[in-house]
């Protein structure tokens, strides 16, 4: 299944350059439908550029604080926990954070898989 999710440009660029390996969301009805190996189409909310990512893992936490403590801010492409929390609080309203669990989607951009396949084809030649 394929799901489209708007992403702020800052986070989109982190996914694009490979420094972010996890998509962080609240576990709303749409996020509850996403399963392993589904495709999440990340859409840059500023430029409409898109990256398709395969979901390679899913982890659910009580809140963003627990998520960051367990997975580390580096996996989210940040230098420290405070920076992550500031960004998450800007994107997700406090009321929603209190009402819903946090979910981490471990993602692999499909262009990475395409590059690996291409490299393996070259090695065969």
Mean pLDDT for the chain overall: 89
Number of domains present in the structure of the chain: 1
CB < 8 Å & 24+ apart, contacts of 90-97: 91/8, 92/26, 92/64, 96/26, 96/28, 97/26, 97/63, 97/64
Residue indicated by tokens 């420094």: 19
pLDDT band at residue 125 using 50, 70 and 90 as cut-offs: low
Tens digit of each residue's pLDDT (9 = 90 or more) over 10-43? 999 999 998 899 999 999 999 999 999 999 999 9
Give the CATH number of the domain where residue 13 resides: 2.30.130.30
Rounded to 10°, the helix 64-71/81-91 angle is: 140
Domain extent for 36: 2-124
Tens digit of each residue's pLDDT (9 = 90 or more) over 43-80? 999 999 999 999 999 999 999 999 999 999 999 999 99
Distances (CA, A) of 40 to 93, 124, 125: 22, 31, 33
Contact yes or no for 5/15 (Cβ under 8 A) = no
Q: Which two tokens stand for residue 27?
A: 């576990």
């Amino acid at each position: 299944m394929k799901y489209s999710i708007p992403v702020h440009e800052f986070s989109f660029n982190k996914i694009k350059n490979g420094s972010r390996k996890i998509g962080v969301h609240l576990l709303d009805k749409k996020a509850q439908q996403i399963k392993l190996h589904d495709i999440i189409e990340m859409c840059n909310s500023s430029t409409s550029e898109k990256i398709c990512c395969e979901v390679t893992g899913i982890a659910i936490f009580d809140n963003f604080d627990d998520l960051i403590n367990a997975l580390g801010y580096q996996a989210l492409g940040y230098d420290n926990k405070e920076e992550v929390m500031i960004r998450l609080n800007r994107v997700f309203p406090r009321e929603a954070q209190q009402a819903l669990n946090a979910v981490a989607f471990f993602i692999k951009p499909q262009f990475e898989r395409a590059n690996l396949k291409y490299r393996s084809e070259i090695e065969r030649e």
